[in-house]
Amino acid sequence: MTSAAPDVRVVHHGDAPADVAGVLLAPGASATRENPSLVALDRALSPHVAVRRVDLPRGKAAVQRVRDEAEAFADELGVGTDRLVVGGRSFGGRMASVAVAEGLAAAGLLLLSYPLHPPGQPERLRIAHLPDVTVPVLAVSGDRDPFGTPDELTTYLAALGGPWTLALVRGTHSPADTAVRAALRLWWPSAG
């Protein structure tokens, strides 16, 4: 399926989340919640849905932080975590996907520049948990991202246990914010 949005090519399209009360966004490994891409997404989404950007520690503690932040955000909104889309950029998206795979209820998962493997090391896949992710997923990746080629992403995202959408945009591991927002609107039109 090819989209009409500029600079976005949807190679696989699945269901979008429903009845979303909020979006929790986490940054990449070397970034903070003030990452320009997360700030741009926050600005685009916040007129339509509550948004929280969070910082993550390094390592396995990051998965617990995603859980804790999702629960606190849901409590503030007066809903369950199953009304949140969780995700983030690179490491942040991966930690959110692990949290969901390990049982965090969520309405959907947003993976921006998912680090399928370290650059130049396609044998070191980070996918063992993907079959346990059963919520709708949007993965947005640059078409030249060294952390996962379009073919690799298409192949390995098919292991997800639920509906998924892969949107490819021009760029590497930091695609343009306008293209990311366009991909998000194609997947989840009510998000703006």
Local confidence band at 147 (pLDDT 50, 70, 90 cut-offs): very high
Statement: residue 43 has pLDDT above 60: yes
Say how far apart CA 125 and CA 121 lie, in whole Å. 8
**3 located within any domain:** no
pLDDT of residue 5: 60
| CATH number of residue 145's parent domain | 3.40.50.1820
Q: pTM, whole model, 2 decimals?
A: 0.92
**CA–CA distance, 175 with 77 (Å, rounded to integer):** 31
Q: Does some domain include residue 17?
A: yes
Domain tally, the chain:
1
Segments forming the whole domain that contains residue 171: 8-191
pLDDT band at 2, cuts 50/70/90? very low
Q: Lowest mean pLDDT: which of 16-20, 37-41, 145-149, 181-185?
A: 181-185
Q: At residue 1, does pLDDT exceed 70? A: no
- C-alpha distances in angstroms, 129 versus 53, 98, 171, 174, 192? 24, 6, 27, 24, 30
Q: At what angle do helices 91-101 and 61-77 cross, to 10 degrees?
A: 80
Q: Is residue 160 part of a domain?
A: yes
The share of the chain scoring above pLDDT 70, in percent, equals: 96
User: For the chain, what is the HEC assignment?
Assistant: CCCCCCCEEEEECCCCCCCCCEEEEECCCCCCCCCHHHHHHHHHHCCCCEEEECCCCCCCHHHHHHHHHHHHHHHHHCCCHHHEEEEEECHHHHHHHHHHHCCCCCCEEEEECCCCCCCCCCCCCCCCCHHHCCCCEEEEEECCCCCCCHHHHHHHHCCCCCCEEEEEECCCCCCCHHHHHHHHHHHCHHHC
Q: Is residue 2 part of a domain?
A: no
Q: Indicate the angle between helix axes 177-187 and 36-45, nearest 10 degrees.
A: 40
Residue 100, in any domain of the structure: yes
Q: Please give the Cα distance from 9 to 130 (Å, whole number).
A: 23
Q: Is residue 1 part of a domain?
A: no
Q: What is the pLDDT of residue 192?
A: 60
Q: Does the structure show a pLDDT above 60 at 31? A: yes
Asked, for residue 187, whether it belongs to a domain, the answer is: yes
Question: In the structure, what pLDDT confidence band is assigned to residue 4 with cuts at 50, 70 and 90?
Answer: very low
CA dist 90 and 126 (Å) reads 12
76 within some domain: yes
Within 13 Å, how many C-alpha atoms sit on residue 123's CB side?
Answer: 0
